[in-house]
Amino acid sequence: MFSLPLSPEGTAFQRDVWEALRKIPYGETRTYGQVAQAVGQPRACRAVGMACHRNPLLIVVPCHRVIGQNGSLTGFGAGLDAKAFLLQMEKKEAQSL
């Protein structure tokens, strides 16, 4: 892992969400609800989704690791095929570590 100082522009809530996303371990996922809980706003699932949508640093701020409550893949700026690819790649590599 590496540390990369970032300061993307966004609302305080968006920055909190983006920081929470950076804490999701490689090869793992979280639901929108879990991210909302992590930022202290347990009812803000949709707002978490919007923060992911406005994420200016795809991959670096790994919004692809956020999934629907039922495990479904939902929105990703680069498309759902790319999201599925990234999640599979990370899961496979994490298992080999």
Nearest-angstrom CA–CA distance, 34 and 45: 8
pLDDT beyond 60 at 2: no
Mind listing the pLDDT tens digit for each residue in 19-33? 999 999 999 999 999
Reported pTM? 0.88
52 is catalytic: no
**pLDDT over 60 at 1, yes or no:** no
Q: What is the pLDDT of residues 32-57, one digit of tens each?
A: 999 999 999 999 999 999 999 999 98
Higher pLDDT, 26 or 75: 26
Which domains are present in the chain? 12-96 (1.10.10.10)
What per-residue confidence (pLDDT) applies to 77? 84
Two tokens, residue 35: 């991210």
The mean predicted confidence, pLDDT, of the chain is: 92
Query: What gap in Å lies between CA 80 and CA 86, rounded to an integer?
Result: 10
Q: Residues 36, 39, 61, 63: which is the catalytic one?
A: 63
